[in-house]
Structure formats: structure tokens, C-alpha cells
Amino acid sequence: MTLTDEERRLLDVLEASLKADDPKLAHDLDAAEQGKRPTMGRLIAAGVAVLLGVLLLVLGMSFAWWLCVVGFMVMLAGVTFALLK
């Protein structure tokens, strides 16, 4: 849903007021917003880890139960790697 011109103007006034009142907080919030998305290389590495984990999980069902555990841990590590910055 888009903002109306009046809402956008009011939001700009509130943002300017925040930056004037507490510049350190505004800087911290801007820095947190910029570093929020993972990079493409990080996502690719995490995807490879998840696929490897699925492969180990399937192989573990055929050969040894401990391979299932290792596969699950590799998948968990891949997802954690993608989400944490």
C-alpha cells in the first residue's frame, strides 16, 4: 500500500526530527537497515550447504542413522549462515 503525499511529508518531518533529536540513534538505525540483507555469495554457499545436508539425510536413511544427524546439522548450519550477518 502506497503512502499519500501528506503521509510521506509527515514521515519525512518525523525522520528529520529524529535525526535532529538523537543523531546517534538515527545513525545506528540507518546502519542496521543497510546491513540487513545477505550477499548473493552468502546465499549461494548456504544453498549448497542445505543441498549437501539433504543429500546426507537421504543417504543416511539408506546406510547409517548418524549420516541423517550429520545431514540435519549441515542443513541447520547452512540456514544459520544465510540468516546471520
Question: What are the sequence ranges of the domains in the chain?
Answer: 1-36, 38-85
Confidence of residue 79 (pLDDT cuts 50, 70, 90): very high
Question: CA-CA distance, 77 to 11, in Å (whole number)?
Answer: 39
Segment 27-65, tens digit of pLDDT: 777 765 666 677 888 889 999 999 999 999 999 999 999
Global pTM exceeds 0.75? no
Cell, residue 19: 535525526
CB atoms within 10 A of CB 71: 21
Q: For residue 16, is it left (φ>0), alpha (ψ between -120 and 50) or beta?
A: alpha
